[in-house]
Amino acid sequence: MNAVLSPRHYGELRAMARRLMRGRHDADDLFHEALIVAMRAGRLDDPAAPAWLGGVMRNLAAAEARSAVRRRRREERFPFLPGASDNLHGFPPDFLAGLPAGLRIVALLADCGATRAEIRHLLGLNDTALRQRISALRRRWAAFDDGNHAGYRRPEQPLALGAIRRALLPLARRALVHLASHDPDGHLMAFGKIARPPHKTSSSGN
């Protein structure tokens, strides 16, 4: 244990890391990265090391937050197809047919207008896992695209996805409904279990 950084200092710095980052693993990574920065700068023996490390962690966390915002903005413009123009809509069927099931479902949900948050919820994925699938889709698309797959034309009148999602909420909240979405023309649809009435025993004994 460093003479300047007492167990109390370590505990306080770890608590600060947890406040700055959402997940425990991210907090540990932030704390360890700050220690590495301090070691490289020769600041671990400095009496002001605890306060200095706190400042380093705040700066690192702020830089990570800015990077995350920029990454989300890039992905929300067009999550999958790099350099796509406004007239693109979805992936060609022959591309989808060659995808593993885990990537195909992500591509199909995105093509139906689902947001990243909706895809994460529906598939039970965290942000890192979804980002990995998106990266895999990009790599596969880059290997597949020969310049002759322009995707599909969007309808003459683009769908009002915000209004469609608001209309889907009451449908999605119904009992036994597991998934609510819409078709390419904007018609609402829902998937779930069918409630069957209990079997009644006939009075005749059948």
- Considering the segment(s) 79-154 as one domain, its CATH architecture is Orthogonal Bundle (1.10)
Q: What is the pTM for the complete model shown?
A: 0.41
Q: What are phi and psi of 66, to 5 degrees?
A: -65, -40
pLDDT in tens for each of the 206 residues of the chain?
455 678 888 889 999 999 998 888 888 888 988 888 888 888 878 888 889 999 999 999 998 888 877 766 655 544 454 433 333 346 788 888 888 988 888 888 877 767 777 788 878 888 888 889 988 888 888 888 765 554 444 444 455 566 666 776 776 667 676 666 666 666 666 776 655 666 555 555 55
At which residue do the structure tokens 């109390």 appear? 8
pLDDT digits (tens, 9 = 90+) for 108-125: 887 776 777 778 887 888
Q: Where are the domains of the chain?
A: 7-76, 79-154, 158-206
